[in-house]
């Protein structure tokens, strides 16, 4: 089908890992892919991508006007496609103020959403962005969180409304705008072949389990980390810490202060419980 498949997540939740898997599965015969040629390489918030459809600069367009224009851009792009295209996105699907979807059924075939424990997201975000853990925790709990929010600073991406972590998760996973496959980062780590096989089935890709198993091995974090060290990775735009970090569960246990963990828990208790990140006693599981 010639339509967009959106690969969505809150930042530092496994989006690029899933893209690497799909690239290896579909384009490189199950071999470790070139990091500079991953599917979904043009992020939805790319200013140049959006301006190619608008025909004028977007830098000074007010946020809500641009939000509505982006929706039209994605519809137009989806209609123009002659093949299926994967596109990475970090925006929340629904804007909190207007309640409007950034993408609707005319701008998508389907979506993939990756959810990760917010404790570990905070630590990974801190390490990748070279900011304090406290700042990362505040970001996950900020209902007005927006990436590239200084619109007049010449960023190559337009502002992206995230909202807090719970809003972001719910905006995608509870939407009925188009079919969405929800992947849980921790399950991908624990049972990668089984979980990625579910994604392959969702996408209607006819590939056997051996190819899926070989592809999982090819995109192990150890493989991707070695490749990044050897050749670099342009999406690591900050250039400081490695893009592909530890890829582990429960690293937050030794990184978060008790009050930081409590702040995340109090803000996101309901969604954390929904995905098994806290037990019936309300404690981290």
Annotation: CATH topology of 4-117+155-237: Rossmann fold (3.40.50)
Tell whether the model's pLDDT for residue 152 goes beyond 50.
Answer: no
Map residue 186 onto helix, strand or coil. Answer: helix
Tell whether the model's pLDDT for residue 226 goes beyond 90.
Answer: no
Buried b (16+ CB within 10 A) or exposed e, 138-156: bbbbeeebbbeeebeeeee
| 232-251 pLDDT per residue, tens | 666 666 556 665 665 666 66
| 60-90 pLDDT per residue, tens | 899 999 999 999 999 999 999 999 999 999 9
CA atoms of 23 and 131, how far apart (whole Å): 31
Q: How many CA atoms within 13 Å lie on the side-chain side of 42?
A: 12
CA atoms of 13 and 117, how far apart (whole Å): 8
pLDDT of residue 246: 59
Tell whether the model's pLDDT for residue 125 goes beyond 80.
Answer: yes
- ∠ CA(175), CA(60), CA(44), 5° rounding? 35
CA atoms of 63 and 189, how far apart (whole Å): 37
- Span 253-269, average pLDDT: 93
Q: Where are the domains of the chain?
A: 4-117+155-237
CA atoms of 279 and 84, how far apart (whole Å): 40
pTM for the complete prediction? 0.92
pLDDT of residue 149: 80
Map residue 147 onto helix, strand or coil. Answer: strand
pLDDT of residue 229: 74
pLDDT of residue 109: 97
Max distance between CA atoms of the chain, in angstroms, equals: 55
Alpha helices in the chain (DSSP H): 15-27, 47-54, 63-80, 118-129, 133-140, 165-173, 185-190, 192-202, 209-218, 221-231, 258-274
Strand pairing of 85-89 and 180-184? unpaired
Tell whether the model's pLDDT for residue 283 goes beyond 70.
Answer: no
pLDDT of residue 252: 75
| Residue 104's pLDDT band (cuts 50, 70, 90) | very high
Tell whether the model's pLDDT for residue 180 goes beyond 90.
Answer: yes
Contact by Cβ (8 Å): 90, 12: no
Contact by Cβ (8 Å): 81, 114: no
Tell whether the model's pLDDT for residue 98 goes beyond 60.
Answer: yes
CA atoms of 116 and 100, how far apart (whole Å): 25
pLDDT: is 255 or 215 the higher one? 215
Place of tokens 């690029």: 16
| 208-218 pLDDT per residue, tens | 999 999 999 99
Query: CB under 8 Å to 135, separation ≥6 — which residues?
Result: 126
Kindly report the average pLDDT of the chain as a whole number: 90
- Tell me the CA end-to-end span of the chain in Å, nearest whole number: 40
Place of tokens 């990475």: 88
pLDDT: is 112 or 41 the higher one? 112
CA atoms of 264 and 257, how far apart (whole Å): 11
Contact by Cβ (8 Å): 120, 252: yes
């Amino acid at each position: 089908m010639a339509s967009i498949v959106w690969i969505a997540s809150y930042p530092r939740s496994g989006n690029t890992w899933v893209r690497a898997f799909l690239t290896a599965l579909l384009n490189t015969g199950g071999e470790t892919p070139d990091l500079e040629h991953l599917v979904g390489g043009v992020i939805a918030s790319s200013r140049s991508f959006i301006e190619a459809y608008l025909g004028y600069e977007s830098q000074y367009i007010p946020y809500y006007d641009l939000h509505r224009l982006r929706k039209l851009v994605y519809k137009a792009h989806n209609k123009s496609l002659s093949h299926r295209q994967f596109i990475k996105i970090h925006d929340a699907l629904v804007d909190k103020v207007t309640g409007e979807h950034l993408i609707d059924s005319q701008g998508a075939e389907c979506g993939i959403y990756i959810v990760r424990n917010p404790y570990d997201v905070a630590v990974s975000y801190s390490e990748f962005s070279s900011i304090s853990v406290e700042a990362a925790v505040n970001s996950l709990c900020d209902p007005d969180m927006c990436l590239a929010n200084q619109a007049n600073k010449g960023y190559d991406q337009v502002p992206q409304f995230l909202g807090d972590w719970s809003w972001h998760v719910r905006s995608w996973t509870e939407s009925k705008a188009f079919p969405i496959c929800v992947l849980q980062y921790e399950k991908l780590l624990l049972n990668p072949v089984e979980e990625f096989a579910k994604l392959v089935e969702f996408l209607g890709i006819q590939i056997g389990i051996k190819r899926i198993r070989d592809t999982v091995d090819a995109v192990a974090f150890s493989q991707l980390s070695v490749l990044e060290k050897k050749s670099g990775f342009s999406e690591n735009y900050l250039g400081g810490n490695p893009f592909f970090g530890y890829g582990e569960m429960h690293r937050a246990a030794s990184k978060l202060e008790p009050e930081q963990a409590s702040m995340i828990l109090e803000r996101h208790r309901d969604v954390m419980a929904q995905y098994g990140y806290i037990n019936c006693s309300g404690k981290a599981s």
